[in-house]
Amino acid sequence: MNGFSIREAVESDENAICQLNSTEMGYPFPLDATIGNLSKLLNNPSNKIFVAVLDDSVVGYVHANDYDLLYAPHMKNIMGIAVSGEYKRQGIGRALLQQIEHWARETGASGIRLVSGAARADAHNFYRSCGFSGNKEQINLKKMF
């Protein structure tokens, strides 16, 4: 697909990002909380958020941050990637991943990692086509306060 561009996210992208989180990722989250989180992340140099724009509308985004461990080299961790359903399979997701890879290389990271839901077979195939390889299965646990 031609005609879209990739740029760094800005605070005014909050509505589109909130909508993508809900419709494409299945994470409904209040707009006011999205606004607060986006503002915080945009001002944190350990995080980077890029958006895909088509006809002045945000149609996708990717968010990554530093991933530092005591047992592995520095990497970037993709926290979320979403493309509006009507624009999938048109090169937007791949372009967003390439932008994160460029940022990762530019900042000296040794690679990029991501976690994808076990049932998301199409997403797994897409990530593999972009050069990712699976290295383990795991259970994601959390404890909310």
Per run of 10 residues, the mean pLDDT along the chain (length 145 residues) is 90 98 95 97 98 97 98 97 95 98 98 90 90 85 91
Residue 112 buriedness (CB in 10 A; 0-12 / 13-18 / 19+) = buried
19, exposed or middle or buried, with CB in 10 Å at 0-12, 13-18, 19+?
Answer: middle
pLDDT in tens, 22-59: 999 999 999 999 999 999 999 999 999 999 999 999 99
Sequence ranges of the domains in the chain:
11-129
Q: Does residue 83 contact residue 96 with C-beta atoms inside 8 Å?
A: yes
As its CATH architecture, domain 11-129 has 3-Layer(aba) Sandwich (3.40)
**Residue carrying structure tokens 């993508």:** 20
CA distance 19 to 22: 5
pTM comes to: 0.93
